[in-house]
Amino acid sequence: MKLKDLYMYLRGDIHRIELELGDAVSGASPVLEEATLQLLQAGGKRIRPVFMLLSAKFGNYDIQKLKHAGVALEFIHMASLVHDDVIDDSDLRRGKETVKAKWDNRVAMQTGDYLFGKAISSVALFQEQGIHEAMSRSMHDMVLGEIEQIRYKYEWEQNVRTYLRRIKRKTAVLIASSCNIGAQAAGVSRPEQRALANFGHQVGMAYQITDDILDFTSSEENLGKPAGGDLLQGNITLPVLFAMEKSPSFKKELKQAFADGIPSRERLDHLLEKINASGGIEYARNINERYLQKAYQSLDALPDIPARRSLYEIASYIGTREH
Amino acid sequence: MKLKDLYMYLRGDIHRIELELGDAVSGASPVLEEATLQLLQAGGKRIRPVFMLLSAKFGNYDIQKLKHAGVALEFIHMASLVHDDVIDDSDLRRGKETVKAKWDNRVAMQTGDYLFGKAISSVALFQEQGIHEAMSRSMHDMVLGEIEQIRYKYEWEQNVRTYLRRIKRKTAVLIASSCNIGAQAAGVSRPEQRALANFGHQVGMAYQITDDILDFTSSEENLGKPAGGDLLQGNITLPVLFAMEKSPSFKKELKQAFADGIPSRERLDHLLEKINASGGIEYARNINERYLQKAYQSLDALPDIPARRSLYEIASYIGTREH
C-alpha cells in the first residue's frame, strides 16, 4: 500500500496542482528554473495539498480556487526545504543532491526566496482574511522553528517541551494551516474548520515525530542517508532526550563524544545502540501514538464522508510508515 | 537641509514605527536579535514608511493602523538588503559591516527570512484585499528583480529596457506599494490611490537611477565604498549602457577588461573616466529628470494639503541628492 493509493480519487486534482506548480516556475532565470524543476521532479508526497483538498471536501469544493492554495502550500514547504539545506549544510535529501550542493548556497537562498514570492502571489488571490492569517502564521512560525532548530543544535540542556514547540513550528503549523485553508476556501462551518485544523496539528506532530524516529530505525536504503544523521548534525530529538533524561552517565558520554569533535561512524553507532537500549525509541513511539489518537478523535466532529475516511487512513499511514 | 527636515511633523509617528520595529525583533535567538538590531541601528532613511504615512494623509489617517504597514514595508526592505549582500558578496553597506560579513551567509539568510516572516505577520493584520495584493506583488517583484540582477551581471549584451525593468522590480515597485498601501489603509479614493501609486513608481525609478549615478560621481567618504563598485561587481547601469552603445570600441575594451579577470583599481579608474567622458552620466541624469517630472505631475491630481508639498520636496531631494 502506497500513500497515494489512499486518495486515488484526488488524482486528477493533484495533477492539476502539479501543472500549476510547473507553470509557476517557468520563466525565471535558467539556473532558477532548473533548480526549481529539480525540486519539483524530486517528487515529494504533496501531502499539504492533499490535506487541503480533503478538508475542502467538507464544503463547496472548487478546484479552480483550491489549486492556488495548493501551489502556495507546496511552494512554502519547498522553500523551507531549500533554505534548511543551507542551514544544515546538507548535500543530500532523500538520496538526491540538494540545490545548495548542485549549485551553491546563494542559488539555494535565491530559489527559496523565489518560491516564497510565488507562494505569496498565490495567496494574494484569496479574499478570505482568515486565509491570509493562516498563511502568514505558517510562514512566520516556520521561520521561528528554523531559528530554534539552529539555536538548540548541540544544546544538550534542552527538554521535551522545547522539542515539541520546535516541531510544532517547523512542521505541524503548516499542516494544520493546510487543513484550515482548505476548509476556509470551501466555506466549511467554523466548528468543522477548527476540527480540521486541530486534526492537521495532531497529524503534523505525529508526522515529524515519525520522521525523527525513522532517522534511528530506518536503513540507509530507505532513508537516502545513513541512520543517526539528525544526532550527527546536532538535531536532538525525542529518543535522545529520553536517553539523556534516563541516564545522566549517558548524557555525559554523549556530551563528551561531541566535545571531542564530530564522532566517528563507530562511535556514533555505539551511541545509537545505547539510545535504542534506553527505550528512547519506544518512548517516542508512545508519544507519536498519543498524537495520532488525538488526530482520529478530531475527525469525530466531522460528517462521515469519504474524505473523512481518507484523512483517517492518511493519518494512520503517516504515523506508522517505515520510510 | 537633510531629508528628515522635510517631514518634521511626522517625527512622532516615525518614532512610533521605530519602536514597533524594535519590539518586533526582540525575542528571536540571541544572534538573530543582534543581527536585526544592527540592521535597525544602521538607521536608513525609513523612506518607505514616510511615503506610506504621507499618502495616508489624503484620507483617514490612523497611526495605530498605519504603523503595521510601516513595519511590514521596512522589514521587507531590510530583508532584501540582507539577502542582497549575500548575493553580491558585500562586506560593507554604507560604510558598515554587513550581516553576512560580521556573521556568515547562513545567518544573513536566516535574518532575511525572519524579517520576511515578521513583515508577513504585520500585513496579515489588514482586512483590505488590495493591501495584500500590493504587498505580495512587491515581494514577488523584488525577488524577480534580484534574480534579474544576478542574471544580467557581467552581461554586456543587455540594454536600457532590461535595466529599467530590473530597477522597477528591485526598487520602484516597493516604493509605489508604500504609497498605495498608505492610501488604501486610509480609505483614499481610487483615483487618488492611483495618483499616489504612480507618484511612488516614478520616484522609485528616480531613486534607483540616482543611486546608480552616485556610484560613479560620489566620493568614497560619502558612499562608504570606492566609486565604480557597481561596475566592478558586474552591475551594469545607465552610464555604462550609454557608453557601450555610443562606442563599440569602448564596449570591446570593457569586455576585454573583465575577460582578463577582475580589473585592477588603475584599470577600473581608466574605464570610469571613459564612461564619464562618453556623456553617460549626463544621459542618466536626463532620464532621471524625466521620471522626476512625471512624479511631480502625478501630484497634480491630489488636493493641495501639506503632505502633497512634502511628497514634492522629498521627490526633489531624492532625485538630486549628492550622497
Mean pLDDT rounded to a whole number for chain B: 90
Cβ contact A110–B139 (<8 Å): no
pLDDT of A241 > 80? The answer is yes
- Cβ-contact B83, A113 below 8 angstroms: yes
Residue of higher predicted confidence among A55 and B81 = A55
A contact residues 31-60, partner B, Cβ 8 Å cutoff: 32
At B90, which CATH number? 1.10.600.10
Which of A33, A147, A82 is CA-nearest to residue B32? A147
Residue of higher predicted confidence among A112 and B302 = B302
- Chosen for mutation from B104, B107, B114, B120 (greatest number of chain A CBs closer than 10 Å) is B120
Mean pLDDT, rounded, for A102-121: 85
Question: A115: part of which helix (H) or strand (E)?
Answer: helix A105-123
pLDDT of B1 > 80? The answer is no
Mean pLDDT, rounded, for B104-118: 85
Question: Percent of chain B having pLDDT more than 90?
Answer: 58
pLDDT of residue A44: 79
Mean pLDDT, rounded, for B8-13: 88
- Chosen for mutation from A89, A100, A136 (greatest number of chain B CBs closer than 10 Å) is A136
pLDDT of A294 > 90? The answer is yes
pLDDT of residue A152: 87
Q: How many domains does chain B have?
A: 1
What SS3 class is residue B93?
Answer: strand
pLDDT of residue A101: 84
Specify which residues B97 forms β-bridges with. B92
pLDDT of B26 > 90? The answer is no
Residue of B nearest to A150 (CA): B29
Cβ contact A87–B109 (<8 Å): yes
Say how many C-beta atoms besides its own lie within 10 A of residue A50's C-beta: 25
List b or e across A269-303, with b for residues whose CB sees 16 or more CB atoms inside 10 angstroms: eebbebbeebebbebbbebbeebbebbbebbeebe
**With bands split at pLDDT 50, 70 and 90, how would you rate the model's confidence at B167?**
very high
- Type of residue found at B20: E
Rounded (5°) CA angle A33-A34-A37: 80
**Span B284-296, pLDDT tens digits:** 999 999 999 999 9
Of A93-102, B155-164, B291-300, B312-321, least confident by mean pLDDT is A93-102
Query: Within an 8 Å CB–CB cutoff, is residue B153 touching chain A?
Result: no
Q: CB-based contacts of B184: which residues, under 8 Å, 6+ apart?
A: B128, B130, B131, B134, B193
- Cβ-contact A195, A302 below 8 angstroms: yes
What SS3 class is residue A108?
Answer: helix
| Domain assignment of residue B77, given as a range | 3-320
pLDDT of B4 > 80? The answer is no
Mean pLDDT, rounded, for B92-97: 80
pLDDT of A1 > 70? The answer is no
How close is the nearest chain B Cα to the Cα of A196, in Å? 21
Query: What would the grid cell of residue A81 be?
Result: 526545504
- Type of residue found at A13: D
Query: What would the grid cell of residue B88 be?
Result: 553580491
Q: Which of A109, A121, A132 sits opposite B124 (nearest CB)?
A: A132
pLDDT of residue A70: 96
Q: Which of B121, B124, B147 sits opposite A114 (nearest CB)?
A: B147
Distance CA A223, CA A217 (A): 10
Distance CA B141, CA B196 (A): 19
